[in-house]
Amino acid sequence: MGPDFSLEHALQARGYLRIAGVDEVGRGPLAGPVTAAAVVLDPARIPEGLNDSKKLTKRARERLHEEIMQMAEVSIAHASVEEIDNLNILRASHLAMMRALEGLKVPSDYALIDGNMLPRDLTLPAEAVIKGDGRSQSIAAASIVAKICRDCVMLSLAQQHPGYGWETNMGYGSKSHMEALRNLGVTPHHRRSFKPVHNML
């Protein structure tokens, strides 16, 4: 069973009409930003096949991304490598989520946020939903948008810094990425607070 709209329906019954699903991508990589998306779905136009982005094929993700961008309200935001190193990855992830929510053209009145913890500076009503991208269609949509956007960022960075394999590993610590770190050194896009990179320095 994939995610459904039951959490959203329950909130609508309580009077919340603009419900944003929020998710982030990129906590684990050694390089690149962390990216978050906030998505407000139209209950009458929900793309078919929404699911956790990790459970979808590349082709399905791209199709759904296109449909989400056409049918829903979407905001995407990042926290930079510098912010990750200064704040820590959890706080930076929450910062990206806050920015995504703040970037919606019309503010949401409730947020469903993937994970077990809410950003501490969040002011609007919200709840943390553990494994939310497998439970809520709004969060699943956000996971797809964030994944596609961050992959595009890493493809662009891969062209600027060839040799690290970011076009395929997306900044994660794959064997080829680790070898490149040893042979080519640390780039400005590497997270210096992450142990494998810190140890190289």
Does residue 178 lie within any of the structural domains? no
Supply the CATH number for residue 68's domain: 3.30.420.10
Domain membership of residue 1 (yes or no) is no
Q: Cα separation of 141 and 60, whole Å? A: 12
Is residue 56 a part of any domain in this protein?
Answer: yes
Q: Which residues are annotated as a binding site for a divalent metal cation?
A: 23-24, 114
Buried b (16+ CB within 10 A) or exposed e, 131-170: ebbbbbbbbbbbbbbbbbbbbebbeebbeeeeebbbeebb
- pLDDT given at position 178: 96
Total structural domains within the chain? 1
Q: How confident is the model at residue 15 (pLDDT cuts 50, 70, 90)?
A: very high
The pTM (predicted TM-score) of the whole model is 0.96
Task: Note the pLDDT tens digit of each residue in 48-90.
Answer: 999 999 999 999 999 999 999 999 999 999 999 999 999 999 9
3 state SS of 23:
strand
Residue 35: inside a domain, yes or no? yes
Binding-site members are 23-24, 114
Q: What pLDDT, in 10s, does the model give residues 120-162?
A: 989 999 999 999 999 999 999 999 999 999 999 999 999 999 9
Per the domain annotation, does 54 fall within a domain? yes
Whole domain around residue 51: which residue ranges? 6-149
